[in-house]
A and B are shown apart, each in its own frame.
Chain A
């Protein structure tokens, strides 16, 4: 594997202006395939979810899956596209064993959705509009496994196995127009764009949107041109970049590689590139030219797909709130700062917080519990926070126990552990574990006296009005009572004792 020369990103940016373009393939989660009644299920035994249509048997004909058309229209609408009243499928002819008919049934000159856009919010809040050229329907190919070679690639393999379970799975391919003007933020924008598409299709419920399973796959086009030049440079297309991080890295790498090629005075070769996660580099795939001849022609076995305006409007009415708009609304409703909200989103607990608030908690309480207690535990358990087993009701109950003074925060954390250990509801656990705040002031006063005596200089400061020093005394009391005291009450008693207004 040859190693390409690269320029530093900064140097590349000084000299060149990147232009991006993305083709994102989204596998739809319809019950059956795009053109056959075989189940659309991931992960089953090879060649079990196939029928004569998926195997390209002689005599078979395709039938368009209406649910897939519906999902495609929804995607188109969510991408602010126009929906074609009538569109056709075409045949893309090429010989390859993962394509059982040796042509792929796809849309060519008549996509179902076209001329849309997506506003992408970058981390610092900058909004970047990405224009969508088209979103079209097609079928997925089967999966080839190359056996016996060292690389797992077809070159050098002894033989190859084909699994047609994926053959015919409905796909929507979303193609952007050339994305100009991203400058040094191109890698970040790339990641944010793919993340946004993934979020949209997940939110629509039309795809499982799991990148690790190939539900969302990205081909990233990159070209560079000297600053000030309008004409695009020659592009490379990095295929199947299948994680958000990889999208960012691949775009960054290609920018650096292109810059090095251009610096050397050589022309960039128009080709596909393979992304390697281990080395975070790309290698040359097959040369691709615009003259690649797939001999497209209208699929004669299918009639045009008609999308009446009534149907489109019906579907539009069923669309869920767009994720970006929803986030904006929730942040405003909850009164979180930008930083707080971003942390919530990044931790993946926005939905959980929304549910917890709906169950009766305040926005700050919900955030305190999810961000302060649950996210950490989920990380340790290596699960999504929402899968840890904490219900909004549990949090509401825990909070009530704290608010009523029955337990303090430290105890509440222990109760939460009890809930997760399956010991029962919070109140039960308080009972069983004998957790209750010491509410008799007698023992507390003794402990306070002892603490004040132990730190006379601190007591003096408090008397002098430096109330922030009180923590040291409270800490001493809590230590003495092994955390069983109500810190709030301890504070009150200390101030009382010292005759200071709180």
Chain B
């Protein structure tokens, strides 16, 4: 039916695919199959997928095609994105596919229920291509902490795709999916977006239901879209967002003007604030250059650039590494081998429940997970609670106040998403602190519950790797990010003469082309 070949088809944005599907220029089965073929071709190198859901995806695609072919009311009522395939981070539970959270402790586990966002994808009839790789329980900035091997950056297979949602970002960057779902606790959607040249959005805390996202840190976690264009993320957030009675922290506000905002097309008169503390020292020169370039473009487009200061951001990383592990230590207590998942019996000695739980957790969790559980258990302990968890909560309030003050001066804030471009596999694996610093610019948004969008800002001069630009807005003002993001995206693409991903090297349809980096294995 289509005149596009598969290679062209998979490079279309979700919005473009939606138009072609609605016009019946292409079928969902063709699109879905093209992506499944692409996965078969390149995922051996990228390792973005932990599970490919071909059969069900094609069945949903065929259903959408049949409805469209039959026409009538049912075809009219189809969602705009019906038939557009999507990949799902393997932290989000799905009926009919395994959900591992990137951990041995859940190997082979099948959820008896669907996450709310999955229900929404099914209601919109979007074929789910499969589950994507991640750092174990979303803990990491490189996807090297997956128990199922690292995902590789399509821009350079020796480099990390960011984390924890490296699988989702790499899948979208490698044209293995037009869209993906991620989760962002301290930057796990945005930082992978930055280093893979894709778009990642962390919505306002509560804008998207967390029901069915395996909790890492409940007060910080948020599900959000991963895509190749700003408009595509807006389209996807409108599908997955909205109030959910199963998530008490879910907002009742409507978030239905996101797509319209992405189509607004101007930033004239908007005040855009540079956060003094989120660039400069510690940021790679090439990152800084691309950042300044984006500022120039926005200024030319009529935005007013102002500088704001958020003095308490210097405490954000420290406070985050108390609150997050505290919640982790409690959220991950349920993985004990009693009801589901891995159960390991102690090799010798008495067979008590404590020892079975201990043996299971010792064998089932990786080092980074254990590190955070230990950290959090300590921080919550009697006698330390006030000094650690209590103080960290106070810092959180101070960060919120910094944002309040900043947003009194600017409509949106702007910064580089990550201080560096993608580093090499294994480079920071033995240095947790260096790894944690990747999230220095993304963490404040989680601490304050505000939305953050990362979009491609070009390639760094020194290494030719993608740089991400982060936009931040006040809580519930997700639409502003889509508005500014779409304008900046179009200005940049005009400059580049097309999408940034068009400049990515072609992945060979063959076995791994580069030397395998054994240091990239999970630890």
CB pair A97 B248 closer than 8 Å: no
- In the complex, residue of chain A having the shortest beta-carbon distance to the beta carbon of B354: A95
- B-contacting 9-mer, from A57-65, A227-235, A374-382: A57-65
Find out whether the CB atom of B249 lies under 8 angstroms from the CB atom of A101. no
Q: For the complex, is A11 an interface residue (Cβ under 8 Å from B)?
A: no
A331 at the interface (CB under 8 A from B): no
Interface string of B107-136 (1 = CB under 8 A from A): 001011101000000000000000000000
For residue A154, which residue of chain B has the nearest CB? B353
- Asked if B248 contacts A63 (CB within 8 A), the reply is yes
Docked-complex contact A295 and B92, CB < 8 angstroms = no
The binding surface of chain B is classed by DSSP as loop
Q: Which residues of A contact B213 (CB under 8 A)?
A: 59
Q: Tell me the total A-B contact number using a CB cutoff of 8 A.
A: 105
Please report the C-alpha to C-alpha distance between residue A102 and residue B338 in the assembled complex, in whole angstroms: 10
B339 close to A58 (CB less than 8 A): no
- For A102, give its contact among B93, B111, B248, B334 (CB under 8 Å): B334
Find residues 472-487 in chain B having any chain A CB closer than 8 Å to their own CB. Answer: none
List the B side residues contacting A293 at CB < 8 Å. 381-382
Is B106 positioned at the interface, with any CB of A under 8 Å from its CB?
yes
Taking a contact as CB atoms under 8 Å apart, the answer to whether A59 and B115 are in contact is yes
B112 contacts A52, C-beta separation under 8 Å: yes
A427 to B276, CA, bound (A): 97
- Find out whether the CB atom of A160 lies under 8 angstroms from the CB atom of B353: yes
CB-CB under 8 A from A162, the residues of chain B are 338
Q: Is the CB of A301 within 8 A of B113?
A: no
Minimum CB–CB distance from B97 to chain A (whole Å) comes to 14
A33 within 8 A of B: no
Q: Does A300 contact B (CB under 8 A)?
A: yes
Q: Which residues of chain B are near A55, meaning CB under 8 Å?
A: 339-340
Complex CA distance for A103 and B113, rounded to whole angstroms: 22
Does A297 interact with chain B (Cβ within 8 Å)? Answer: yes
Q: Do B334 and A56 have beta carbons less than 8 Å apart?
A: yes
| Min CB gap A4→B, angstroms | 27
CB pair B338 A300 closer than 8 Å: no
Give chain B residues whose Cβ lies under 8 Å from the Cβ of A57: 93, 111-113, 339-340
B257 located at the interface, meaning its Cβ lies under 8 Å from any Cβ of chain A in the complex: no
Contact B113 A52, beta carbon cutoff 8 Å: yes
CA distance A57 to B338 in the complex (A): 11
B383-394 vs A, CB cutoff 8 Å, 1 = contact: the mask equals 001000100000
Q: Can you name 24 A-B pairs with beta carbons within 8 Å?
A: A52-B113, A56-B334, A58-B214, A58-B335, A59-B212, A61-B210, A61-B211, A63-B245, A63-B247, A63-B248, A95-B354, A96-B353, A100-B339, A102-B333, A162-B338, A295-B329, A295-B330, A295-B380, A296-B380, A297-B326, A300-B218, A300-B219, A302-B248, A303-B248
Asked if A93 is an interface residue, CB under 8 A from chain B, the answer is yes
Q: Does B496 contact A (CB under 8 A)?
A: no
B101 cross-chain contacts in A, Cβ below 8 A: 58
Number of interface residues of B (CB under 8 A): 44
- Asked if B112 contacts A93 (CB within 8 A), the reply is no
Decide if B111 touches A59 in the complex (CB within 8 Å): yes
- Is B377 close to A, CB under 8 A? yes
CB-defined contacts of A160 to chain B, threshold 8 Å: 353
CA distance A93 to B333 in the complex (A): 8
Minimum C-beta distance from B496 to chain A (A): 39
- Within the complex, the shortest CB–CB distance from B185 to chain A, in Å, comes to 12
Tell me whether A91 is interfacial, beta carbon within 8 Å: yes
| A-contacting residues, B190-227, CB 8 Å | 210-215, 217-219
B99 proximal to A (CB < 8 A): yes
Decide: A101 near B212, CB < 8 A? Known: A57-B113, A301-B218. Answer: no
* In the complex, A291 has a CB within 8 A of chain B: yes
- Interface of A toward B, CB cutoff 8 Å: 52, 55-64, 91, 93, 95-97, 100-103, 154, 160, 162, 291, 293, 295-297, 300-303
Residues of chain B with a CB closer than 8 A to A60's CB: 211-212
3 tightest CB-CB pairs across the interface, nearest first?
Answer: A102-B333, A295-B380, A300-B218
Interface residue B336 (Cβ < 8 Å from any Cβ of A): yes
Point out the residues of chain B lying under 8 angstroms from A154, CB to CB.
Answer: 353
On chain A, the residues within 8 Å of B106 by CB distance are 58
B291 to chain A, nearest CB (A): 33
Find the B residue at minimum CB distance from A63.
B248
- Is A291's CB under 8 angstroms from B92's CB? no
Write the chain B residue with the least CB distance to A95. Answer: B357
Q: How far is the CB of B25 from chain A (nearest CB, A)?
A: 38
Q: Is the CB of B249 within 8 A of A301?
A: yes
Q: Could you tell me if A301 and B215 are in contact, using CB atoms closer than 8 angstroms?
A: yes
Within the complex, the shortest CB–CB distance from A288 to chain B, in Å, comes to 14
- A59 near B211 with CB under 8 A, answer yes
Residue among B106, B210, B357, B382 with the most chain A CB within 10 A? B382
CB-defined contacts of A62 to chain B, threshold 8 Å: 248
Contact A303 B249 (CB under 8 A): yes
C-alpha gap A95/B354 in the complex (Å): 8
Q: A291 to B382, Cβ gap below 8 A?
A: yes
Query: Does B248 contact A64, Cβ atoms closer than 8 Å?
Result: yes
Of A100, A291, A295, which is within 8 A of B377 by CB? A295
Tell me if B327 and A63 are in contact (CB < 8 A).
no
Least CB distance from A23 to B in Å reads 20
B246 interface residue (CB < 8 Å to A): yes
A302 to chain B, nearest CB (A): 5
Q: With a 10 A CB-CB cut-off, give which of B113, B335, B338 has the most chain A CB atoms.
A: B338
Chain A residues contacting B385 (CB-CB under 8 Å) are 295-297
A296 to B217, CA, bound (A): 15
Interface centre among A93, A160, A162, A302 (most CB of B within 10 A): A93
Contacts of A291 in B (CB 8 A): 382
A61: chain B residues at CB < 8 Å are 210-211, 215, 246-249
Interface string of B47-66 (1 = CB under 8 A from A): 00000000000000000000
**Given known contacts A55-B339, A293-B382, is B334 in contact with A93 (CB within 8 Å)?**
no
- Report which of A52, A59, A100, A103 forms a contact with B330, defined as CB distance below 8 A: A103
B211 adjacent to A97 (CB under 8 Å): no
Do residues A59 and B214 form an inter-chain contact, with CB atoms below 8 A? yes
Given contacts A297-B389, A300-B219, A302-B248, contact A58 B330 (CB under 8 A): no
A95 to chain B, nearest CB (A): 6
Residues of A within 8 A of B380 (CB): 93, 295-297
CB <8 Å contact, B334 and A100: yes
B381 partner, pick from A64, A101, A295, beta carbons under 8 A: A295
Output the nearest chain A residue to B323 by Cβ-Cβ distance: A300
The interface residues of chain A lying within 8 Å CB-to-CB of B326 are: 297
Rounded to whole angstroms, the CA-CA distance of A58 and B106 in the bound complex is 9
Q: Assess the A301–B330 pair: CB atoms within 8 A.
A: no
- A155 CA to B101 CA in the complex, in Å? 35
Interface string of B379-411 (1 = CB under 8 A from A): 011100100010000000000000000000000
Report how far A100 CA is from B341 CA in the complex, Å.
13
